[in-house]
Amino acid sequence: MLHVIQQQLERNAKVSAWTIKEDRSRSKELFFIQNKLDMNRAVDALEYHVCIYVDFEEDETRYKGDANILISASDSEQEIASKIEKAVFAAGFVKNKWYDLPEDVGDSIPGLPLFDNVTDLKERYDELYDVLFKSYPYRSNINSCEIFATTAEQRIVTSKGCDITYPRNHWMFELVTDDNKGKEPVEIFNDYDLTNMDLEQIESIVDRQLMETEGRSLAVRNEKIESIRIILTGDSVESLLEFYVTQATDQMIYSNISRVKKGERFIVEEAKQSLTVTMNPELSFSIHSKPVDEEGRRLKPYVLFRDGVAENIRSSARYSHYLGIAHTGMVQPFEVEAGDRPIDDYRTGNYLELIAFSSFNMDSMSGDFGGEFRLGKLVQNGQIFWVTGGAISENIFDVQDRMVFTARQIRRKKSLTPEAIIIDGVTVSGI
């Protein structure tokens, strides 16, 4: 099928360049209601995502238009040719200033581990069941759980000579927990993305969500607090720190939205916490790890910020060409260097530890961040309270000089980042 698609692309004289992403996968899905298996099914899939580029000129200005199509394994040659022709027509209306796609350089690529998640789920089902439904020290329960185990390969082929196949490991589960013993019933839904069936990590996830559910059922409405230390934990840490990755991305700089300038300091030298961010496409635990991006650029680790100074720009073929900068590739996984002290060193005096948000918002342009928190642990005058319904609203440019990272790093969906971020003097809204 791939050869047929290539032939049809090469036969169309209007096609200037192309990229093909072949997704080949087999998956197994389990659905539990409480601890009873309710559904068990398997799916095999093969599909092709094709991006077609068309170069053209208008009024002596060169453009490169593009359009995307999806080709299924059941499409005939005539259907493929028709889809390509329609994409060529659509690309002619996309007036992006001309740029070139990367030539394949033939460098060796790191080998990402391949996990046969489907087979692993079959062979270790009993172990997984015991981890999910063992007795945890909380009164909350698992209401339902849905598991998607996928064994997949992805292949990137481009008209510029790239042809790379690599594993795309994905082990995802959706978890619904509830607690009906408080003043009002509580139900919490979360989904989690892993690369493989890591039982230790799954146990930690289930434990945390059951703890959060019980805490939410016991929580009282938060009152306004004028100034307090907050300890930011959970997924909000990754969301906040990803702001720096976005700010150092070429399109943000080209659009004059970002404040980042290569070689210049982004965080003052006197800040409590220096910032070192490394883009790392080789983070084996991240579902976003891959050796090549969809334009065919081979990816390697590089430092984005070093001690608060922008050392590189995260860039695509298009915007790196416009800006006249090095094309580093659109790496997604990133690492942030941790601080010096453990989280317990900051759990002193009065503080609010934010465990989960209803919705944490991080504005990548303005730097505004915050939202209403679903659960927090408030320690005031030596007393501990579970609280809910409060909110924080800050701007990262106002607080980054006084932010501190904890020493331990946590594996998250697309990053290896500090366990918590400490910010003093934050106002927390409430009833």
Cβ–Cβ < 8 Å for 5, 22: no
pLDDT at 282 over 80: yes
Question: Over the range 327-366, which residues count as b (16 or more CB within 10 Å of their CB) and which as e?
Answer: bbbbbbbbbbbbbeeebeebeeeebbbbbbbeebebebee
Last residue of a domain, one of 163, 189, 215: 215
- Answer yes or no: do 208 and 246 share one domain: no
- Answer yes or no: do 226 and 245 share one domain: yes
- Answer yes or no: do 201 and 276 share one domain: no
pLDDT at 273 over 90: yes
List C-alpha distances in Å: 404 to 81, 145, 421. Answer: 56, 36, 6
3-class SS of residue 293: coil
- Answer yes or no: do 146 and 224 share one domain: no
- Answer yes or no: do 235 and 320 share one domain: yes
Give me the mean pLDDT over the 340-367 stretch. 96
User: What CA–CA distance (Å, rounded) separates 244 from 421?
Assistant: 14
Q: Which of 212, 211, 208, 210 lies closest to 200 in space, CA to CA?
A: 208
pLDDT at 107 over 70: no
User: What CA–CA distance (Å, rounded) separates 312 from 271?
Assistant: 21
Task: Count the domains in the chain.
Answer: 2
User: What pLDDT is attached to residue 108?
Assistant: 63
- Answer yes or no: do 224 and 157 share one domain: no
Average per-residue pLDDT for the chain: 95
Last residue of a domain, one of 161, 196, 215: 215
- Answer yes or no: do 239 and 358 share one domain: yes
Last residue of a domain, one of 156, 183, 215: 215
The set of residues, in sequence order, having a beta carbon less than 8 Å from that of 132 and lying 6+ positions away, is 32, 35, 142, 145, 202, 206
Any bridge partners for residue 158, and if so which?
A: 19
pLDDT at 431 over 80: no
pLDDT at 105 over 80: no
Helix (H) or strand (E) holding 315: none
Q: How far is CA 313 from the centre of its chain?
A: 19
Q: DSSP strand E in 250-365: where?
A: 277-279, 302-306, 309-310, 334-336, 351-357, 361-362
Give me the mean pLDDT over the 330-349 stretch. 97
User: How do residues 59-83 score in pLDDT, each as one tens digit?
Assistant: 999 999 999 999 999 999 999 999 9
Give me the mean pLDDT over the 110-118 stretch. 84
User: What CA–CA distance (Å, rounded) separates 408 from 323?
Assistant: 37
User: How do residues 133-155 score in pLDDT, each as one tens digit?
Assistant: 999 999 999 999 999 999 999 99
CATH of the domain at 56: 3.30.2290.10
What type of residue is 206?
A: V
- Answer yes or no: do 244 and 200 share one domain: no
Helix (H) or strand (E) holding 57: strand 36-58
User: How do residues 403-416 score in pLDDT, each as one tens digit?
Assistant: 999 999 999 999 99
Any bridge partners for residue 53, and if so which?
A: 17, 66
- Answer yes or no: do 14 and 99 share one domain: yes
- Answer yes or no: do 210 and 334 share one domain: no
Residue with tokens 């139900």: 187
Counts for the chain of helices (H) and strands (E), in that order: 9, 22
The set of residues, in sequence order, having a beta carbon less than 8 Å from that of 397 and lying 6+ positions away, is 367
Task: Classify residue 345 by its DSSP letter.
Answer: G
Given its phi and psi angles, is residue 307 left (phi above 0), alpha (psi -120 to 50 degrees) or beta? left
- Answer yes or no: do 107 and 236 share one domain: no
The first and second tokens of residue 260, run together, are: 């980042």
Cβ–Cβ < 8 Å for 50, 71: yes
pTM of the model: 0.92
User: What CA–CA distance (Å, rounded) separates 171 from 126?
Assistant: 17
- Answer yes or no: do 279 and 168 share one domain: no
Cβ–Cβ < 8 Å for 234, 356: yes
User: What CA–CA distance (Å, rounded) separates 187 from 317?
Assistant: 45
User: What CA–CA distance (Å, rounded) separates 425 from 326?
Assistant: 40
Any bridge partners for residue 220, and if so which?
A: 387
**Which domain does 333 fall in, by range?**
220-431
List C-alpha distances in Å: 368 to 273, 393, 395, 398. Answer: 19, 7, 4, 9
| Triad 98, 278, 261: Cα angle to 5° | 55
